[in-house]
Amino acid sequence: MNNLIDILELRDLLNDHLSENNNFESIYSSLYSQNSELLPELEKRVYDYFSFLELPEEPTIYDYLLLSLKEKDVVASFNWDPLLIQAYRRNILHFRLPRVIFLHGNTAVGVCIKHKQKGYLHTTCEKCGEQLAQTRLLYPIEEKNYHADQYIRNEWNLLTCALKDAAIITIFGYGAPSSDQSALELMQNSWRNKQTELTEVIDIRRSSELRNIWTHFHFAPQRFDIYKKFFKSWMACHPRRSVEAYTDQTIFAEFISNNPIVKQQTLEDVWEWFRELQ
């Protein structure tokens, strides 16, 4: 958020509102409180920038992440960009994949609020035939009341239900920013006194900093691991078998060997490797 203004080339639009602290969320929040006439153009530029991003043809971490999980799993993302959806669409024809939910909206997801339907943007509602509408991306940081948006509220409800039964939780690159107080409160309420077998964090920051952040969430994992790279994580070392492998090791006291993902050059090779784990 601190360099988003330059990445999106918004200085021409926001020139009169810039200061030493050019945090995008702070500026947007200020404009929102003023009901500024700049809001529609600002929101359009943000949406357009993220919606145009595309995955390369070769395999990415998005592909490996989805393929490492099964349909019983859930991926909850805060990302606006469509990359996770793009990975989902090119892998779903070959494997059963986890449910994907977007806690801050997404440029590749469309919704029909009237019939409580969601799907790929530019497709139609199965009930009324109307084209699905864009999801909202931007909220003022002082009043990020996600319960006021029906689609976002439902996504958070799905996450809350998933967390109740989760044996393993992986937190991948999420910093739990203090500015997003509503999201933090929702997660803290969901995780309060939550018992998990394993919680792992994938992040490049110092371990002490990460432990300090997640200690405040009042959940009690039996084991808490930190990795700097996805491919070192438990799910990447036991793809599509993560819970089963952990249960065999800890409950049944069996000696298990890792089955780490082998990186491939093409998606076809990736699919071939994962087919043995169907």
Give the Cβ contact number of residue 140 at 10 Å: 15
Report the sign of the C-alpha dihedral through residues 174, 102, 164, 62, in that order.
negative
Phi, psi values for residue 191, rounded to 5°: -95, -5
pTM: 0.90
- Which residues have CB under 8 Å from 20's CB, separation 6+? none
CB-facing half-sphere around the CA of 126: CA atoms within 13 A: 5
Local confidence pLDDT in tens for the 278 residues of the chain: 778 888 888 998 988 888 776 778 888 888 888 889 999 999 999 999 999 999 999 999 999 999 999 999 999 999 999 999 999 999 999 999 999 999 989 999 999 999 999 999 999 999 999 999 999 888 776 666 667 788 988 998 999 889 888 899 999 998 777 667 777 777 777 777 677 889 899 999 999 988 888 877 767 778 889 999 999 999 999 999 999 999 999 888 888 899 999 999 999 999 999 999 98
Residue identified by tokens 């784990």 is 277
